[in-house]
Amino acid sequence: MPDDLLILQPEINEKATQLQNLAKELKTASGDGNVGTAAGDLASNAQTLHGAASQLPATDGLTDLKDKATELATAAKKDTTSAGQDKESLYATATALQSDATDPANAIAVIEAFKKVKTAYEKLAAHPKYSTNKPSPGQTPDPNTAKRKVKAVETAWNGVKTEFENLCKALIKHYSDEVNTQATQLKNDPTVENARAFKEEYDTFKDVKSTIEIKPGDSGTKKTIEVTNLPHINDTFKPRQKKFIWIIIPSILTQWLNFLTYKLAVYPQKLKAEANGLSGKAGTLSTRSSTLETALGSNEAAKKLAEGLKEAASNSVSGKGLKELLGDLNKASGITNIHDKAKLVLAKYNEVVNAYNSVKGDTTATGKAVEFATVKSAFNQLQKAAYEGTIDDPSEGKADDKRYNGKAEELKTKAQLLHDAANAIFEAAKDGSPLTELRTPAGQLKEAAKSSSGQDDLYNAAKALESGGSVDEHKANDVIAKFDAVKSAYTTLSSKTEYKDVIEDNSSLPQEQQQKVKAVDTAYKDLKGIYYQMLNLSKLHKAAEKLRAAAQAASGLNTLEDLKNAADNLKTNVTTLRDQTAGNAYDNAKNVEDKFNDVKSAFNKLTADENKVQDTFNALKGVYDHIGSTTFLDLLIPNLNNNS
């Protein structure tokens, strides 16, 4: 080993060992499956499903299922007259993976094919004729009956599900082996070459803060490795998307995979580190609450509230407070144990918040200004630590223009696709066409998405936003307005009977024309998905302005005046958060939260005047709820309660 790398070996050893141990644990939990064998079994089951689905509509009473059964049969395995035509069915992709288990593209293809099979099965299973003839568990219907044919499909589908899960586990094991091998190699021989192999294999270093950097040395040929916390625990299992994340996340059959991969790779160490940091702050809050309790003297009601907060924050005598539960979590080992400890922490944290709000709402307690101020400060520090670094609108802010503009570019692309899909209906819906009723609304939708005049549409609004550098309020508002126009046009189109019948699978239109309608539905949902990921603060700003204007329109009423002022303050604070400078995200976000609560409080005081602003308030609340706020537990355990 070159002398200039010797000093790095202890740190490389430590971090590579972390990676290696996690890989081994993941491999052990994944079982002993082999990718090639599992893929072969899946292909066999896909072929069985193809046969069962193909036979289904040939039975008396099941002819209505022909289209949906054919869709399922084709997704499982296509009928071909010559070799090489079937490349996308589950059978074909599983067979390809069986032949070459080392190519991650083959694994991804299987996952995508399985999704199509699952969708086709769900459509078939939802048909009344299918559900009526579905036999009860354990029932063996007579041969050559409709129920016997449906049972054959059910059995084949369950076989596909089982083998797909087995394949996912085998894939996890396979890529865990790769993680283990590379980590072992790097630990044993931390040379530039091995670091480069690690870098190329897992690509953890492309877009995360913690990296191994391979740099030129002082001379022209010499190279050194610079270690900056290799790899950060957050990124320990964040290898090349195609090689790991894409393989695990789409395994939608069981919560087992979701629980295993997320909790095993990231959750324990990260969560325990956060718990350690929060524990001291919980203790401080308890101590200061005790001081407030003493200061309240003989006021038993207020003292009881302060005591409740003190014991929720820390209690080593009877039960456990947040501090003690955080300590338990920090010391815990084993996935299941950590998971259980985290649930207790989450519940207790919410208890602390409620207890603090009770103290805060008591005028006697807050009347002890000095003591309450220290309690408030301690609570804010605890809450800030829980929120630290997580309050961030993912699409806004001057510090993130590249990602922001990227969303605008995606929106522009989706607008083009929606235009094209709507135009296909518009062109097909001429006189005499069964789509005639859809021609006018389809034309309105395509123009709203991208107009023939080249202006005043969503496509060009997104294009202007994309090229505008930092967040521009006028351009952002233009995108919001243009999306509203697209949404309105889509709502009109989708309300037509011909459209709804296709989406609800009740249409008698030819398949070619049904596909045109479905293409619009898909394109709109894709566009909406991108839109809802961006401009959240600008949407909130605009909604606050609309509420302010609605309240002002009914001027002269004191309650509405309060609401108008609260909405105006919210709008101002949203602007500050959106245009923030680095380092102020937490404080600015908390201000927005406080101002929204003021708006909500003012609205809740309304009685007879409520109907004047009900719609605009609901719109504002909808935007605010969509943005949401994230605690450290929500961030680290996004589905904690789903894995009970």
Pick from 409, 415, 391: which is nearest to 584 by CA? 391
Domain residues of the chain, as ranges?
3-16+175-252, 35-174, 266-387, 398-531, 539-628
Residue 221 has pLDDT above 90, yes or no: no
**CB distance 68 to 53 below 8 Å:** no
Pick from 601, 586, 554, 549: which is nearest to 571 by CA? 549
Would you place residue 228 in the very low, low, confident or very high pLDDT band (cuts 50, 70, 90)?
very low
Report pLDDT for 411. 81
Residue 382 has pLDDT above 90, yes or no: no
User: Where is mean pLDDT largest: 34-48, 519-533, 535-549, 558-572?
Assistant: 34-48
Report pLDDT for 555. 55
Mean pLDDT lowest for which of 178-187, 265-274, 472-481? Answer: 265-274
Locate 398 and state its tokens.
């001057």
Would you place residue 257 in the very low, low, confident or very high pLDDT band (cuts 50, 70, 90)?
very low
Angle (CA) 443-446-452 rounded to 5° is 95
Higher pLDDT, 18 or 515: 515
Report pLDDT for 53. 93
Residue 72 has pLDDT above 80, yes or no: yes
CA dist., res. 219 & res. 205, Å (int): 24
CA dist., res. 407 & res. 400, Å (int): 11
Report pLDDT for 279. 82
What is the rounded average pLDDT of the residues 399-403?
A: 38
**CB distance 48 to 55 below 8 Å:** no
What is the rounded average pLDDT of the residues 10-17?
A: 55
Report pLDDT for 603. 81
CA dist., res. 327 & res. 341, Å (int): 10
Report pLDDT for 488. 92
How many CB atoms neighbour CB 156 within 10 A? 22
Residue 22 has pLDDT above 80, yes or no: no
**Could you tell me the CA-to-CA distances from 148 to 128, 135, 136, 279 in Å, in that order?**
16, 8, 11, 61
Higher pLDDT, 140 or 520: 520
What is the rounded average pLDDT of the residues 629-633?
A: 33
CA dist., res. 29 & res. 334, Å (int): 12
Mean pLDDT lowest for which of 230-234, 280-284, 328-332, 530-534? Answer: 230-234
User: Where is mean pLDDT largest: 91-100, 177-186, 473-482?
Assistant: 91-100
Pick from 364, 380, 355: which is nearest to 593 by CA? 380
Q: What are phi and psi of 33, to 5 degrees?
A: -65, 155
CATH 1.20.120 applies to domain 398-531: yes
Residue 264 has pLDDT above 50, yes or no: no
Report pLDDT for 448. 94
Report pLDDT for 400. 38
Higher pLDDT, 237 or 144: 144
Pick from 317, 343, 342: which is nearest to 331 by CA? 342
Higher pLDDT, 113 or 625: 113
Higher pLDDT, 124 or 240: 124
The answer for 614, left when phi > 0, alpha when psi is -120 to 50, beta otherwise, is alpha
Residue 339 has pLDDT above 70, yes or no: no
The answer for 138, left when phi > 0, alpha when psi is -120 to 50, beta otherwise, is left
Report pLDDT for 573. 74
Residue 29 half-sphere exposure toward CB, CA atoms < 13 A? 21
What is the rounded average pLDDT of the residues 206-229?
A: 33
Locate 239 and state its tokens.
């290898």
What is the rounded average pLDDT of the residues 88-116?
A: 84
Residue whose entry in the numeric block shows the structure tokens 């391979």: 214
Helix (H) or strand (E) holding 99, with range, is: helix 90-99
Among 1.10.260.40, 3.40.190.10, 1.10.3720.10, 1.20.120.230, what is the CATH number of 35-174? 1.20.120.230
Report pLDDT for 480. 81
Report pLDDT for 292. 92
Would you place residue 92 in the very low, low, confident or very high pLDDT band (cuts 50, 70, 90)?
very high
Higher pLDDT, 18 or 397: 18
Mean pLDDT lowest for which of 81-85, 236-240, 599-603? Answer: 236-240
Angle between helices 300-313 and 369-387 (to 10 degrees): 30
Pick from 191, 577, 212: which is nearest to 396 by CA? 577
Q: Tell me whether the CATH fold assigned to 35-174 matches the one assigned to 398-531.
A: yes
Higher pLDDT, 342 or 577: 342
Residue 342 has pLDDT above 80, yes or no: no
CA dist., res. 231 & res. 15, Å (int): 6
Mean pLDDT lowest for which of 81-90, 143-152, 565-574? Answer: 81-90
| Percentage, residues of the chain above pLDDT 90 | 21
CA dist., res. 262 & res. 258, Å (int): 6
Residue 510 has pLDDT above 70, yes or no: yes
Mean pLDDT of the chain: 71
pLDDT tens, 536-554? 666 667 777 777 788 777 6
CA dist., res. 478 & res. 471, Å (int): 12
Pick from 575, 459, 456, 394: which is nearest to 467 by CA? 459
Report pLDDT for 420. 92
Report pLDDT for 416. 92
